[in-house]
Amino acid sequence: MEDCDDQRIPILFEITVDTINLKTVTFVDIEPYFTKKNYKPRDEDEILFTIGSIFRITAVERESENSKTWKIYMEATDDGSDMIQRQIDLMKNKYPNAGINSLFGRYLMDMNHLAKAKSYFQMLLHELDSPNLEQQYRIELIFINNSLGELHMRMTNYEQAYQYFKTAHTIQLKYNTTSKLFISDIFFGNYYKAIDHPLLAYEHYLDALSDMNKTAEENKINIIRLNMNIASINAICGDYHRSIEVCTKVECLLRIPHSTYSSHFEMIICQGLIGDNYFKKQDYNQAKSFYLNAFHKCEQYLYIGHRQLIHCIRSLVEVDRKIFNDNDKKAIDFCQKQLEQHRKHLAHNHSSIAHLLMKLGDIKQNVEHYKEALDILTHNDYLEYLTIAQCYKFIGDYYLKNIMNQNIEQAHDYFCKTREIYREIYPKDHRSIIEIEGLINSNR
């Protein structure tokens, strides 16, 4: 494809559909609907496939020998449809009041296509930009702003996330759609937890819980999720006994079948959180037991590369290091095996590969793993700001402290890059900014 100087390559997709044997792929020629509605005649025909349709690429080749156009041949397939449908049903049940357009954006987020989800939600915001919105679209506008806030939380751009949460909250107050203000409290709580203000987060979570308990029957699963957030604050504040107690109650509730919602994801988070508490209590064997439960559920219910699976892998690596008294061979072998699996099934620049490289770099104290991770993260279609900052900080520390390769000037450059990201994602008085500035000033 080197003949396309501007890197824009014309592509045609040719899709083969076995209409007799396929069971899960639905498509329709929408031209008759345009004709029926008396729309202006168009120069092209259009076929729409349902969300969740799966295609297998069978070949990629030039249209003809001297053509700049490439053709991608695909065939529709039922393979993997059960997992996709499970994810779609999960999304519908998790957000029952969201419109189908917004749900598609949430689906993109769940698949970790954050750049696409961001563009998609911003397009929806533009379409809803009107002072005279009907009630149903006001609710949609609130949902989209909150989704963009969550998206930026995932990208660890906390200040931008806060602005979207604040916008959603303002719209709720302006249009008097206050029936679910607890949602804003949850998002504000998540924000304050992320920027290391656990007590403020705790206040928002308790306010949300108080509101949700007024309609407890319709908020069962949301109350369960919120209690896990509260348990995480207990753990941050060092009250491990209380955190485990709350999680154990949540675990019992999650074992009760919910007719409209599969709670596997919540169970994974709950098991991991209990494991974190035992880890902090230095009961490493008990911690590993819960981490393994979470890991096996991830393998069963989540796709490879899912952020929660990566979290479980990192936790298991750390607990093995403790159990085997910093003899890192078992931890390294497990981490490398997981890295190989993810490289096999994911694109070479997938952020999950970067996270596993960073963990391997931690264990082996190998700066090259961090540099490879940094290269992936900075060339991705979306930025994980805090993760990139962690790479800069590790590499800066390496050049500062490694006697064989000490380079104060390079260390200073990496610390300055770290500070630049911290200033973008945190409030100006955040302790991370103060600490990195102290490090920069002491190594001028």
Q: Helix H segments across 2-134?
A: 31-36, 81-94, 100-110, 114-127
- Nearest alpha-carbon partner for 157 in 429, 406, 382: 382
Q: Compute the C-alpha angle 245/274/330, nearest 5°.
A: 155
Q: Nearest-CA neighbor of 309 among 345, 281, 285, 284?
A: 345
Q: What is the pLDDT along the chain (444 residues), one digit of tens a residue?
A: 445 555 678 899 899 988 888 888 888 887 776 665 555 555 667 788 877 788 889 999 988 878 888 999 999 998 877 777 777 777 777 776 777 788 888 888 887 889 999 999 999 998 887 766 676 678 888 999 999 999 999 999 999 999 999 999 998 888 766 557 788 999 999 999 999 999 999 999 999 999 898 888 878 888 999 999 999 999 999 999 999 999 999 999 888 876 555 688 899 999 999 999 999 999 999 999 999 999 999 999 888 999 999 999 999 999 999 999 867 999 999 999 999 999 999 989 899 999 999 999 999 999 999 999 999 999 988 889 999 999 999 999 999 998 777 889 999 999 999 999 999 999 999 999 999 999 999 877
**Beta-bridge partner residues of 15:** 74
Secondary structure class of 41 (helix, strand, coil): coil
